[in-house]
Amino acid sequence: MSEFFPGFDGAPLAFTRLGTGRPVLLLHGLFSSAEINWVRFGTAAQLADAGFACLMPDLRAHGASAAPHDAAGYPPDVLVRDLAALVAHLGLDSFDLVGFSLGARTAARAVIAGMRPRRLVLAGMGLEGLAGWAQRQHFFLDMLDRFGTIRPGDAAYMAQQFLKTTGADRTALRLRLGTMEDTASAALAAITMPTLVLCGDQDNDNGSADRLAEALPAAQRATVPGTHMSSVTRPELGRELVAFLSAD
């Protein structure tokens, strides 16, 4: 059952809790939600069984969270600002931070902005997904422009079909897509905590995970089966998260 907290501007944003123990914030991917990314396929349950308190927000314009149609609701790095609001709302001093795809971009930029999780996981993300966001953003804006007309065989077809299943607000998503900038490779030096770069063995959607791990001061790599879309459905994802977050 969702709870709500005020985002950076007071907008009601949803989050879900599962388990008790060491807090871990789990940030989902684009067009998705906490339920789809973390609950449905058992990843959060694996973490909860291992002694973690899973705290899973629906990012702005996703899931049960507010999806304003006013551009004022989407300043630069709005998701980072909302994440800081959630940490303050929960009164967290020590926590782990996990992000998948859009959630990984949000997590990385939050750390660069000063957030200090104990351990960090960047899943479904490569170096180009951070440093080359403008190109990726254009891909999604083009998909939104052509939504409903994209046929099988088009590179944007799977993104269109996934958005159809989630029913996320396309007007709000268009506004939200413009809130993140490219992340300079030099800025990654600020990510000094132990970091796991975790990616599907067939996932190149956000560029090279190997290059991202090499660019981080204290990163290790892990691989799970699957594409960008399917890797979050695999139990191996939860097992890798438990192993990394349980380390001293």
Percent of the chain with pLDDT over 70: 100
Query: Angle between the 78-90 and 102-112 helix axes, to the nearest 10 degrees?
Result: 70
Closest C-alpha to 215, from 197, 240, 189, 190? 189
Considering the entire predicted model, what is its pTM?
0.97
- Domain ranges for the chain, please list them: 3-246
Domain range 3-246, CATH architecture = 3-Layer(aba) Sandwich (3.40)
Phi-psi region of 100 (alpha: psi -120 to 50; beta: other; left: phi over 0): beta
Q: Mean pLDDT across the stretch 69-93? A: 97
Residue 134's identity, in one-letter code, is A
Q: Which residue has the tokens 């705290």?
A: 55
Check: CB of residue 226 under 8 Å from CB of residue 202: yes
Q: What is the pLDDT of residue 181?
A: 84
Render pLDDT for 149-195 as a digit per residue (tens, 0 to 9): 999 999 999 999 999 999 999 999 999 998 888 899 899 999 999 99
Render pLDDT for 2-21 as a digit per residue (tens, 0 to 9): 899 999 999 999 999 999 99
